[in-house]
Amino acid sequence: MQVLRAIVEDYVHTREPVGSKALVERHNLEVSPATIRNDMAQLEEDGLIAAPHTSAGRIPTDLGYRLFVDRISEVRPLTRAERRAMEILAETSDDHEAMLEQTVRLLAMLTNQVAVIQHPQHSSAKIRHIDVVLLGAQKALVILILSTGKVEQRMVTLAEPAAEEDLHRIGQKLSEQLHNRSASALPIPMDTLISSVEPALRATMAVVANAVTSILESGRVDRIIMAGTANLARSGGDLGPAIGPILEALEEQVVLLRLLHEMQQDQRGLSVRIGQETSHESLQETAVVAAEYASGESGRGAKLGVVGPTRMDYGATMSAVRAMARYLSRILSEG
Protein backbone atom coordinates (compact mmCIF):
# COMPACT_ATOMS: atom_id res chain seq x y z
CA MET A 1 0.00 0.00 0.00
CA GLN A 2 2.88 2.39 0.71
CA VAL A 3 4.30 1.75 -2.74
CA LEU A 4 0.91 2.22 -4.40
CA ARG A 5 0.33 5.44 -2.44
CA ALA A 6 3.74 6.74 -3.49
CA ILE A 7 3.09 5.92 -7.15
CA VAL A 8 -0.29 7.66 -7.08
CA GLU A 9 1.08 10.76 -5.36
CA ASP A 10 4.10 11.03 -7.69
CA TYR A 11 2.05 10.50 -10.83
CA VAL A 12 -0.56 13.06 -9.76
CA HIS A 13 2.11 15.70 -9.21
CA THR A 14 4.52 14.93 -12.09
CA ARG A 15 2.27 13.47 -14.84
CA GLU A 16 5.19 11.11 -15.51
CA PRO A 17 5.15 7.32 -15.14
CA VAL A 18 6.87 6.36 -11.89
CA GLY A 19 9.83 3.96 -11.74
CA SER A 20 11.37 2.14 -8.80
CA LYS A 21 14.43 4.43 -8.85
CA ALA A 22 12.23 7.50 -8.38
CA LEU A 23 10.41 5.84 -5.49
CA VAL A 24 13.72 5.11 -3.75
CA GLU A 25 14.90 8.70 -4.23
CA ARG A 26 11.68 10.51 -3.28
CA HIS A 27 10.18 8.35 -0.55
CA ASN A 28 11.55 6.90 2.65
CA LEU A 29 9.97 3.47 2.27
CA GLU A 30 12.67 1.79 4.41
CA VAL A 31 13.03 -1.20 2.11
CA SER A 32 15.54 -2.12 -0.58
CA PRO A 33 15.12 -1.19 -4.27
CA ALA A 34 14.69 -4.90 -5.00
CA THR A 35 11.74 -5.09 -2.59
CA ILE A 36 10.14 -2.06 -4.25
CA ARG A 37 10.55 -3.66 -7.68
CA ASN A 38 8.96 -6.86 -6.37
CA ASP A 39 6.06 -4.88 -4.87
CA MET A 40 5.56 -3.02 -8.16
CA ALA A 41 5.46 -6.34 -10.00
CA GLN A 42 2.81 -7.59 -7.58
CA LEU A 43 0.78 -4.38 -7.95
CA GLU A 44 0.92 -4.74 -11.73
CA GLU A 45 -0.13 -8.38 -11.53
CA ASP A 46 -3.09 -7.31 -9.36
CA GLY A 47 -4.13 -4.76 -11.96
CA LEU A 48 -3.45 -1.76 -9.70
CA ILE A 49 -0.69 -0.21 -11.83
CA ALA A 50 0.21 -0.53 -15.50
CA ALA A 51 2.97 0.38 -17.94
CA PRO A 52 1.89 2.97 -20.51
CA HIS A 53 3.30 1.90 -23.87
CA THR A 54 6.99 0.97 -23.51
CA SER A 55 7.71 3.24 -20.56
CA ALA A 56 9.91 1.88 -17.80
CA GLY A 57 7.67 3.56 -15.23
CA ARG A 58 4.18 2.66 -14.07
CA ILE A 59 0.96 4.61 -13.62
CA PRO A 60 -2.08 3.81 -11.47
CA THR A 61 -5.06 2.09 -13.07
CA ASP A 62 -8.66 2.92 -12.21
CA LEU A 63 -8.55 -0.01 -9.79
CA GLY A 64 -5.39 1.38 -8.22
CA TYR A 65 -6.96 4.80 -7.77
CA ARG A 66 -10.02 3.13 -6.23
CA LEU A 67 -7.95 1.26 -3.65
CA PHE A 68 -6.00 4.43 -2.89
CA VAL A 69 -9.20 6.50 -2.43
CA ASP A 70 -10.83 3.83 -0.26
CA ARG A 71 -7.81 3.88 2.06
CA ILE A 72 -8.04 7.65 2.64
CA SER A 73 -9.51 7.49 6.13
CA GLU A 74 -8.73 11.07 7.15
CA VAL A 75 -9.82 13.90 4.86
CA ARG A 76 -7.44 16.78 5.57
CA PRO A 77 -8.84 20.03 6.98
CA LEU A 78 -8.93 23.13 4.83
CA THR A 79 -6.24 25.76 5.06
CA ARG A 80 -7.01 29.10 6.70
CA ALA A 81 -7.16 30.78 3.28
CA GLU A 82 -9.59 28.16 1.95
CA ARG A 83 -11.83 28.56 5.01
CA ARG A 84 -11.83 32.33 4.61
CA ALA A 85 -12.83 31.98 0.96
CA MET A 86 -15.81 29.86 1.99
CA GLU A 87 -16.84 32.33 4.67
CA ILE A 88 -17.25 34.98 1.99
CA LEU A 89 -20.18 32.92 0.68
CA ALA A 90 -22.28 34.06 3.63
CA GLU A 91 -22.19 37.57 2.20
CA THR A 92 -24.39 36.44 -0.71
CA SER A 93 -26.63 34.15 1.34
CA ASP A 94 -29.67 36.39 0.83
CA ASP A 95 -29.49 35.79 -2.91
CA HIS A 96 -29.92 32.03 -3.33
CA GLU A 97 -29.02 31.87 -7.02
CA ALA A 98 -25.96 34.12 -6.63
CA MET A 99 -24.74 32.05 -3.70
CA LEU A 100 -24.89 28.80 -5.69
CA GLU A 101 -23.01 30.41 -8.57
CA GLN A 102 -20.41 31.76 -6.17
CA THR A 103 -20.09 28.34 -4.55
CA VAL A 104 -19.41 26.53 -7.80
CA ARG A 105 -16.86 29.13 -8.94
CA LEU A 106 -15.03 28.88 -5.62
CA LEU A 107 -14.99 25.07 -5.74
CA ALA A 108 -13.55 25.16 -9.25
CA MET A 109 -10.84 27.54 -8.04
CA LEU A 110 -9.97 25.44 -4.98
CA THR A 111 -9.71 22.16 -6.90
CA ASN A 112 -8.58 23.32 -10.37
CA GLN A 113 -11.27 21.05 -11.78
CA VAL A 114 -14.72 21.44 -13.30
CA ALA A 115 -17.08 22.17 -10.43
CA VAL A 116 -20.79 21.34 -10.61
CA ILE A 117 -23.68 21.95 -8.27
CA GLN A 118 -27.09 20.38 -8.59
CA HIS A 119 -29.73 23.07 -8.29
CA PRO A 120 -32.21 22.08 -5.57
CA GLN A 121 -35.49 20.86 -7.00
CA HIS A 122 -38.69 22.35 -5.76
CA SER A 123 -39.69 18.82 -4.86
CA SER A 124 -37.64 19.23 -1.68
CA ALA A 125 -39.31 22.56 -0.84
CA LYS A 126 -42.59 23.74 0.57
CA ILE A 127 -44.69 26.76 -0.31
CA ARG A 128 -44.22 29.55 2.23
CA HIS A 129 -46.01 32.56 0.72
CA ILE A 130 -47.69 33.78 -2.46
CA ASP A 131 -48.23 37.40 -3.40
CA VAL A 132 -49.81 39.05 -6.44
CA VAL A 133 -48.70 42.57 -7.38
CA LEU A 134 -50.53 44.84 -9.80
CA LEU A 135 -48.31 46.12 -12.62
CA GLY A 136 -50.91 47.66 -14.91
CA ALA A 137 -54.58 47.58 -15.83
CA GLN A 138 -54.42 43.91 -16.85
CA LYS A 139 -50.85 42.96 -15.89
CA ALA A 140 -49.81 41.38 -12.60
CA LEU A 141 -46.73 39.73 -11.10
CA VAL A 142 -47.19 36.42 -9.24
CA ILE A 143 -44.51 35.92 -6.56
CA LEU A 144 -43.93 32.50 -5.01
CA ILE A 145 -41.62 32.08 -1.99
CA LEU A 146 -40.36 28.59 -1.11
CA SER A 147 -38.95 27.16 2.10
CA THR A 148 -35.52 26.87 0.44
CA GLY A 149 -35.41 30.66 0.29
CA LYS A 150 -35.87 30.69 -3.46
CA VAL A 151 -38.21 33.31 -4.92
CA GLU A 152 -39.96 32.64 -8.24
CA GLN A 153 -41.88 35.21 -10.26
CA ARG A 154 -44.23 34.99 -13.22
CA MET A 155 -45.90 37.83 -15.08
CA VAL A 156 -49.51 37.21 -16.12
CA THR A 157 -52.09 38.92 -18.29
CA LEU A 158 -55.46 39.13 -16.55
CA ALA A 159 -58.73 38.45 -18.34
CA GLU A 160 -60.08 41.79 -17.11
CA PRO A 161 -58.80 44.80 -15.11
CA ALA A 162 -58.38 44.17 -11.38
CA ALA A 163 -57.91 46.40 -8.36
CA GLU A 164 -54.78 46.17 -6.24
CA GLU A 165 -56.74 45.13 -3.15
CA ASP A 166 -58.43 42.34 -5.14
CA LEU A 167 -55.06 40.92 -6.18
CA HIS A 168 -53.82 41.17 -2.62
CA ARG A 169 -56.86 39.19 -1.44
CA ILE A 170 -56.21 36.53 -4.10
CA GLY A 171 -52.61 36.24 -2.89
CA GLN A 172 -53.85 35.83 0.69
CA LYS A 173 -56.28 33.08 -0.33
CA LEU A 174 -53.55 31.23 -2.24
CA SER A 175 -51.16 31.53 0.72
CA GLU A 176 -53.81 30.21 3.14
CA GLN A 177 -54.76 27.27 0.93
CA LEU A 178 -51.24 26.28 -0.19
CA HIS A 179 -49.06 27.22 2.79
CA ASN A 180 -46.61 24.44 3.73
CA ARG A 181 -47.77 22.33 0.78
CA SER A 182 -44.99 20.39 -0.93
CA ALA A 183 -44.00 22.11 -4.14
CA SER A 184 -44.02 18.73 -5.86
CA ALA A 185 -47.66 18.03 -4.90
CA LEU A 186 -49.30 18.70 -8.24
CA PRO A 187 -51.87 19.47 -9.41
CA ILE A 188 -52.92 22.13 -6.92
CA PRO A 189 -56.65 22.13 -5.91
CA MET A 190 -57.78 24.47 -8.67
CA ASP A 191 -61.56 24.14 -8.07
CA THR A 192 -61.17 24.81 -4.35
CA LEU A 193 -59.02 27.86 -4.98
CA ILE A 194 -61.40 29.35 -7.55
CA SER A 195 -64.46 28.82 -5.36
CA SER A 196 -62.69 30.45 -2.39
CA VAL A 197 -63.20 33.94 -3.87
CA GLU A 198 -66.34 35.78 -4.88
CA PRO A 199 -67.65 35.13 -8.42
CA ALA A 200 -66.31 38.45 -9.76
CA LEU A 201 -62.72 37.41 -8.98
CA ARG A 202 -62.85 33.77 -10.07
CA ALA A 203 -61.52 34.38 -13.59
CA THR A 204 -58.59 36.31 -12.13
CA MET A 205 -57.97 33.61 -9.53
CA ALA A 206 -57.88 31.00 -12.31
CA VAL A 207 -55.21 32.94 -14.21
CA VAL A 208 -53.07 33.42 -11.08
CA ALA A 209 -53.48 29.80 -9.92
CA ASN A 210 -52.44 28.59 -13.37
CA ALA A 211 -49.31 30.75 -13.08
CA VAL A 212 -48.50 29.14 -9.71
CA THR A 213 -48.88 25.70 -11.29
CA SER A 214 -46.58 26.71 -14.14
CA ILE A 215 -43.92 27.91 -11.69
CA LEU A 216 -44.07 24.67 -9.70
CA GLU A 217 -43.90 22.51 -12.81
CA SER A 218 -40.84 24.36 -14.11
CA GLY A 219 -39.16 23.85 -10.73
CA ARG A 220 -39.38 20.09 -11.09
CA VAL A 221 -36.83 20.17 -13.90
CA ASP A 222 -33.43 19.46 -12.37
CA ARG A 223 -30.43 21.38 -13.61
CA ILE A 224 -26.78 21.96 -12.91
CA ILE A 225 -24.70 25.09 -12.45
CA MET A 226 -21.14 24.58 -13.69
CA ALA A 227 -17.83 26.44 -13.54
CA GLY A 228 -14.22 25.80 -14.44
CA THR A 229 -14.54 24.02 -17.78
CA ALA A 230 -11.29 25.77 -18.74
CA ASN A 231 -9.60 23.66 -16.06
CA LEU A 232 -10.59 20.54 -17.97
CA ALA A 233 -9.18 21.99 -21.18
CA ARG A 234 -5.88 22.57 -19.38
CA SER A 235 -5.87 18.86 -18.53
CA GLY A 236 -5.97 17.98 -22.20
CA GLY A 237 -2.69 16.13 -21.95
CA ASP A 238 -4.28 13.65 -19.54
CA LEU A 239 -7.49 13.21 -21.52
CA GLY A 240 -6.28 13.30 -25.13
CA PRO A 241 -9.05 12.83 -27.71
CA ALA A 242 -11.52 11.97 -24.91
CA ILE A 243 -11.84 15.63 -23.96
CA GLY A 244 -14.37 16.34 -26.75
CA PRO A 245 -16.95 13.74 -25.61
CA ILE A 246 -16.40 14.77 -21.97
CA LEU A 247 -17.18 18.42 -22.72
CA GLU A 248 -20.26 17.37 -24.71
CA ALA A 249 -21.51 15.22 -21.81
CA LEU A 250 -21.02 18.10 -19.38
CA GLU A 251 -22.82 20.51 -21.66
CA GLU A 252 -25.81 18.20 -22.10
CA GLN A 253 -26.02 17.72 -18.29
CA VAL A 254 -28.39 14.74 -18.53
CA VAL A 255 -25.59 12.18 -18.10
CA LEU A 256 -24.09 14.04 -15.16
CA LEU A 257 -27.47 14.54 -13.47
CA ARG A 258 -28.16 10.81 -13.70
CA LEU A 259 -24.72 10.01 -12.31
CA LEU A 260 -25.08 12.42 -9.37
CA HIS A 261 -28.48 10.94 -8.59
CA GLU A 262 -26.99 7.41 -8.49
CA MET A 263 -23.95 8.30 -6.35
CA GLN A 264 -24.35 7.24 -2.71
CA GLN A 265 -22.26 8.76 0.08
CA ASP A 266 -19.89 6.66 2.15
CA GLN A 267 -19.14 7.04 5.86
CA ARG A 268 -16.87 9.98 5.07
CA GLY A 269 -19.78 11.91 3.57
CA LEU A 270 -18.39 11.56 0.05
CA SER A 271 -18.99 9.66 -3.14
CA VAL A 272 -16.22 8.99 -5.67
CA ARG A 273 -16.62 7.40 -9.10
CA ILE A 274 -13.44 6.64 -11.03
CA GLY A 275 -13.10 5.84 -14.74
CA GLN A 276 -15.46 3.08 -15.81
CA GLU A 277 -17.36 3.39 -12.52
CA THR A 278 -19.02 6.47 -14.02
CA SER A 279 -21.01 3.99 -16.16
CA HIS A 280 -20.94 6.26 -19.20
CA GLU A 281 -18.54 5.90 -22.11
CA SER A 282 -17.90 9.62 -22.49
CA LEU A 283 -16.78 9.94 -18.83
CA GLN A 284 -14.53 6.88 -18.61
CA GLU A 285 -11.38 9.00 -18.55
CA THR A 286 -12.66 11.09 -15.65
CA ALA A 287 -13.26 10.88 -11.93
CA VAL A 288 -16.22 12.48 -10.15
CA VAL A 289 -16.07 13.46 -6.48
CA ALA A 290 -19.38 14.57 -4.95
CA ALA A 291 -21.03 15.31 -1.62
CA GLU A 292 -24.60 16.08 -0.63
CA TYR A 293 -25.66 19.42 0.79
CA ALA A 294 -28.93 20.11 2.57
CA SER A 295 -30.86 22.43 0.31
CA GLY A 296 -33.44 23.77 2.72
CA GLU A 297 -35.68 23.21 5.74
CA SER A 298 -36.80 19.84 4.41
CA GLY A 299 -33.30 18.45 4.97
CA ARG A 300 -33.33 16.78 1.58
CA GLY A 301 -30.15 17.30 -0.33
CA ALA A 302 -28.81 18.04 -3.73
CA LYS A 303 -25.18 17.35 -4.67
CA LEU A 304 -22.13 19.36 -5.51
CA GLY A 305 -18.84 18.04 -6.75
CA VAL A 306 -16.04 18.14 -9.27
CA VAL A 307 -15.23 16.38 -12.52
CA GLY A 308 -11.66 15.96 -13.65
CA PRO A 309 -9.19 13.49 -15.11
CA THR A 310 -8.58 10.32 -13.11
CA ARG A 311 -5.11 11.74 -12.40
CA MET A 312 -6.35 14.18 -9.77
CA ASP A 313 -5.29 15.05 -6.24
CA TYR A 314 -7.99 12.98 -4.55
CA GLY A 315 -7.13 13.96 -0.99
CA ALA A 316 -7.30 17.72 -1.60
CA THR A 317 -10.33 17.40 -3.87
CA MET A 318 -12.30 15.28 -1.40
CA SER A 319 -11.45 17.75 1.37
CA ALA A 320 -12.67 20.77 -0.62
CA VAL A 321 -15.87 19.09 -1.83
CA ARG A 322 -16.89 17.85 1.62
CA ALA A 323 -16.09 21.13 3.34
CA MET A 324 -17.98 23.13 0.71
CA ALA A 325 -21.04 20.88 1.05
CA ARG A 326 -21.06 21.22 4.82
CA TYR A 327 -20.56 24.97 4.74
CA LEU A 328 -23.29 25.48 2.15
CA SER A 329 -25.68 23.31 4.21
CA ARG A 330 -25.00 25.45 7.25
CA ILE A 331 -25.62 28.71 5.39
CA LEU A 332 -28.89 27.42 3.92
CA SER A 333 -30.15 26.04 7.22
CA GLU A 334 -29.39 29.32 8.98
CA GLY A 335 -31.14 31.23 6.19
Domains in the chain, start-ordered, CATH in brackets? 2-70 (1.10.10.10), 80-121+222-334 (3.30.450.40), 125-219 (3.30.390.60)
The tens digit of pLDDT for each residue in 24-61 reads 888 888 888 899 999 999 999 999 999 987 667 899 99
Mean pLDDT across the stretch 311-335? Answer: 85
Query: For position 298, what pLDDT does the model report?
Result: 44
pTM above 0.75, yes or no: no
Judge whether 145 and 130 are in contact, CB under 8 Å.
yes
The tens digit of pLDDT for each residue in 61-90 reads 999 999 999 988 777 777 788 777 777 766
Query: For position 245, what pLDDT does the model report?
Result: 84
Residues found in the chain: 335
Mean pLDDT across the stretch 105-130? Answer: 84
- CA distances from residue 67 to 48, 51, 57, 60, 114 in whole angstroms, order as listed: 8, 18, 20, 10, 23
Q: Is the pLDDT of residue 299 over 50?
A: no
Q: Exposure pattern of 139-167 as b/e (b: 16+ CB <10 Å)?
A: ebebbbbbbbbbebebebebeeebeeebb
